[in-house]
Structure 1
């Protein structure tokens, strides 16, 4: 497996390179800022890009914007975002384009080397790894037990396709139903998951997060 790393902390960057090498994963290039990420991805076409959210010059969302640019310019590139804290807009923007080949982990998880390497391999293979703390905070920890318990089998099926990044029209074609039927299922999913219209376009992402959290539990 070949990876690239965008991380401004030299210590963490070199630590990641060493951890990956010990697991047989080759780091083909590293950069210390967001803008450099797109260039090394286009040059090396890695199996995975590991990206810090906050990097120079403003230390706000450079890494996220770089990751989104990579997903647009080189579709299908698996991305693992590392963040110091849970930040809602970063997770929702990242997952909004489809959850396949996407990871969002808190940096403290790197300390569990086996778990981190497992996440790296799963994301590179097209899987999804979202930190449980991220899911818990984004969903407000307001639902106990199974958040999908009230969904019908068809609604769970629709939600699973949403998690793959499919549009309503694509879901309709996949299930051989009308787009109107899909819209009704999605409205019912939002209602049962207590996702309010005031949450706007984030409702779809929040529903996917609930699905991912259920799947990982």
Structure 2
């Protein structure tokens, strides 16, 4: 489902997703309608803008947080022009499955956007680098001090939703080297294998200092 107050963007995103075989069960323009649609349709993903009526401040993000309270583990992908730090922290820290935050002006490739939609719907993460930087500045301490510089680079790319092979291509290293770094990251952050939690997402939350 899509929650976006701009009718042109709302319809445009809906048509873009339809072209990729993704059905939209509801397209709404405010937070109250978002909550009603989530409870009625139980969508695979809620794509949400931050600023919606009536005050155009943070209604969308607050509604997304409430939606995840009402429908636990509801995948939410925020698509906005703004980083609303306070509620972004609450949203990202509120669960380890299916969270994302992209900035509209930095979405430059349709294929990458659709990939992010599918990734978050599947329980993964997709967080824009600029969003990460702003949230890290907000943090009072860094929980990943034990990581090497390369491990931090790998974790930063994990936060953007890249697979191991995509990280390897970005850093121009082998897949095996990335797998080793990822294993070291999990070990240093104390993230044991779990059937109920996604370790990559938990590592990203630790990176942003949200999982403490």
- TM-score in terms of structure 2 length: 0.69
| Partner Cα distance (2:192, 2:131) in 1 | 19
Could you tell me how far 1:165 is from its partner in structure 2? 8.7
SS at match of 1:140: helix
Greater radius of gyration (CA):
1
Match of 2:208 in 1: 209
Could you tell me how far 1:152 is from its partner in structure 2? 7.8
Contact kept, 8 Å, 1:49 with 1:80, in 2: the verdict is yes
| Partner Cα distance (1:120, 1:96) in 2 | 19
Matched, 1:49 2:43: no
| Partner Cα distance (1:158, 1:51) in 2 | 30
Among candidates 128, 142, 157, match of residue 190 of structure 2: 157
Could you tell me how far 1:209 is from its partner in structure 2? 2.1
| Partner Cα distance (2:57, 2:210) in 1 | 28
| Partner Cα distance (1:67, 1:79) in 2 | 7
Could you tell me how far 1:109 is from its partner in structure 2? 3.8
> Relative to 1, partners in 2 of residues 1:8 and 1:160: Cα closer, same or farther, differing over 3 Å?
farther
Contact kept, 8 Å, 2:79 with 2:103, in 1: the verdict is yes
- TM-score in terms of structure 1 length: 0.67
Matched, 1:68 2:65: yes
Could you tell me how far 1:83 is from its partner in structure 2? 1.6
Matched, 1:120 2:120: no
> Relative to 1, partners in 2 of residues 1:152 and 1:80: Cα closer, same or farther, differing over 3 Å?
closer
Contact kept, 8 Å, 1:34 with 1:66, in 2: the verdict is yes
**Paired residues, what number?**
170
Match of 1:133 in 2: 130
Contact kept, 8 Å, 2:45 with 2:74, in 1: the verdict is yes
Matched, 1:77 2:74: yes
Could you tell me how far 1:95 is from its partner in structure 2? 0.9
Match of 1:179 in 2: none
- What runs of 5+ residues in structure 1 fail to find an aligned partner? 167-203, 213-217
Matched, 1:10 2:7: yes
> Relative to 1, partners in 2 of residues 1:153 and 1:132: Cα closer, same or farther, differing over 3 Å?
closer
- What runs of 5+ residues in structure 2 fail to find an aligned partner? 156-180
